[in-house]
């Protein structure tokens, strides 16, 4: 029996969020699901407040994971970050320290935590790669979230150097898909635009895009990210972070992203820009060259196709969607 054949008990923190729900969806639809020796536990904040060490210990004792996909975090778009930088730093530091230390204490073999391309230095060269996580201050808008996320990489190094365990991290670009947080003030740009477009259509009012529409972003569909996350769980054996992103050539402006939403929602009303709202970081163009060295043939879902699916999901699930 090889290591990969041995039974895995996988705790997914943040298992009810955008990325956690996508991982659940992908696992449930894997053709060889029954042959894999994997048992998953998807956890929300209602099962355990990971800011609390005792609750975290009880959770690990209950599920006895061998592996952890660590997604739980205080998460939000530009405007939520701008208003709560201190909370983003403190809560995420607490969650991450509890998860990693209790994982180590209970003999977990592998933890895969989640960083983000928005934690990289603001003033940098492009494309950004995995070696640059600590190379300069992050953008002012989300310094709390960024420094807390960077500390995961410090913790992973510490656990490896001091204790020899392989805790690692992945770095996705902006994620979108079903089960996102569609709250207009708190959420990210795509779910915000989808929700605003839905309301503009209902109420016959203009769609307001915040900022200039000029900033650039690479968007990854949550189901694609989920497949790559599972590959990292099963195959990637390094403590060094790995960027999980579409290519640099797939970067789009906020204006182009809004146009894709407008098309998918079949919105024919007026479109306006509110330039009193912040633009945030202009760009954070990331290289997926490392990922491509491992998975040269991985097929990303085309942007317009995944936007259409996400918009259709939101319209169909309007009553139950997080908003
Ligand atoms: P999300 O949809 O907001 O979900 C967050 C998850 O974390 C939920 O399951 C939530 O539980 C859980 N959670 C929050 N606080 C918790 C606490 N104190 N104790 C226990 N659980 C808690 O977030 P997401 O977009 O899926 O993000 C997943 C990971 O990807 C995060 O680490 C995030 O930083 C990273 N990431 C996201 C993006 C993006 O564009 N969304 C981009 C790059 C990286 P409840 O459901 O009970 O609230
Ligand atoms: P970021 O990628 O970490 O900066 O976070 P977001 O996903 O919140 O994207 C922010 C960018 O989208 C900024 O340039 C905003 O000005 C722009 N934007 C346009 N409309 C919206 C909206 O409705 N919600 C959000 N969150 N951002 C918007």
pLDDT digits (tens, 9 = 90+) for 79-123: 999 999 999 999 999 999 999 999 999 999 999 999 999 999 999
Q: What is the pLDDT of residues 160-211, one digit of tens each?
A: 999 999 999 999 999 999 999 999 999 999 999 999 999 999 999 999 999 9
Give ligand 1 pocket residues (Cβ under 6 A).
Answer: 13-20, 44-46, 48-51, 71-75, 95, 114, 116, 172, 174-175, 181, 188
- Per-residue tokens: 106: 């209970």
**Probe ligand 2: pick from 183, 189, 256, 276, max atoms within 8 Å of CB?**
189
Q: Say if CB 230 and CB 112 are below 8 A apart.
A: no
Ligand nearest to the CA of 216: 2
- 21 domain-assigned: yes
φ, ψ (nearest 5 deg) of residue 76: -175, 170
Instruction: Tell me the catalytic residues.
Output: 145
- 187 domain-assigned: no
- The residue whose C-alpha atom lies closest to atom 20 belonging to ligand 1 is 45
Q: Name the nearest CA neighbour of 271 among 250, 252, 257.
A: 257
Residue 51 belongs to domain with CATH number: 3.40.50.720
- 35 domain-assigned: yes
Q: Name the nearest CA neighbour of 277 among 218, 188, 209, 323.
A: 209
Domain range for 17 is: 7-176+219-247+285-301
Report pLDDT for 30: 94
Ligand nearest to the CA of 218: 2
Report pLDDT for 153: 98
- 224 domain-assigned: yes
Contacts of 211 (CB under 8 A, 6+ apart): 254, 273, 274, 275, 277, 278, 279, 280
Q: Name the nearest CA neighbour of 242 among 168, 323, 317, 156.
A: 168
Longest dimension (CA), the chain: 62
Number of domains within the chain: 1
Q: Per-residue pLDDT for 4 more than 70?
A: no
Q: Per-residue pLDDT for 3 more than 60?
A: no
Number of Cβ atoms within 10 Å of the Cβ of 7: 10
Question: Checking DSSP bridges between strand 242-244 and strand 166-172, what pairing results, if any?
Answer: parallel
Task: Tell me the C-alpha distance between 191 and 275, whole Å.
Answer: 19
- Ligand 2 pocket, 118 CB below 6 A? yes
Whole-prediction pTM:
0.97
Report pLDDT for 35: 86
Task: Tell me the C-alpha distance between 223 and 280, whole Å.
Answer: 26
- In angstroms, the first-to-last Cα distance of the chain is 47
pLDDT band of residue 318 (cuts 50, 70, 90) is very high
- 100 domain-assigned: yes
- 241 domain-assigned: yes
- 11 domain-assigned: yes
- Ligand 2 pocket, 215 CB below 6 A? yes
- 94 domain-assigned: yes
Contacts of 153 (CB under 8 A, 6+ apart): 115, 133, 134, 169, 241
């Amino acid at each position: 029996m090889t290591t990969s054949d041995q039974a895995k008990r996988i705790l997914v923190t943040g298992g009810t969020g955008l990325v956690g729900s996508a991982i659940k969806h992908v696992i449930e639809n894997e053709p060889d699901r029954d042959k894999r020796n994997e048992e998953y536990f998807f956890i929300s904040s209602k099962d355990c407040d990971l800011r609390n060490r005792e609750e975290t210990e009880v959770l690990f004792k209950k599920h006895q994971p061998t592996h952890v996909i660590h997604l739980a975090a205080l998460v939000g778009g530009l405007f939520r970050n701008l208003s709560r930088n201190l909370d983003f730093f403190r809560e995420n530091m607490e969650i991450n320290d509890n998860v990693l230390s209790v994982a180590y204490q209970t003999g977990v073999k592998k933890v895969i935590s989640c960083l983000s391309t928005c934690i990289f230095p603001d003033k940098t060269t492009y494309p950004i790669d995995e070696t640059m996580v600590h190379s300069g201050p992050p953008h002012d808008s989300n310094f709390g979230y960024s420094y807390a996320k960077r500390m995961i990489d410090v913790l992973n190094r510490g656990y490896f150097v001091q204790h020899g365990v392989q805790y690692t991290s992945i770095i996705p670009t902006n994620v979108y898909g079903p089960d996102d947080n569609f709250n207009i003030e708190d959420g990210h740009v795509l779910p915000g635009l989808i929700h605003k477009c839905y309301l503009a259509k209902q109420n016959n009012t203009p769609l307001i895009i915040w900022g200039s529409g000029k900033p650039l972003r690479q968007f990854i569909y949550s189901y694609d990210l989920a497949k790559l996350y599972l590959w990292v769980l099963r195959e990637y054996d390094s403590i060094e972070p790995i960027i999980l992103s579409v290519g640099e050539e797939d970067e789009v402006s906020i204006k182009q992203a809004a146009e894709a939403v407008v098309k998918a929602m079949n919105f024919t009303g007026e479109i306006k820009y509110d330039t009193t709202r912040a633009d945030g970081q202009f760009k954070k163009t990331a290289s997926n060259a490392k990922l491509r060295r491992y998975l040269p043939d991985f097929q990303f879902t085309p942007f317009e196709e995944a936007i259409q699916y996400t918009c259709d999901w939101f319209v169909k699930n309007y009553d139950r969607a997080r908003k």
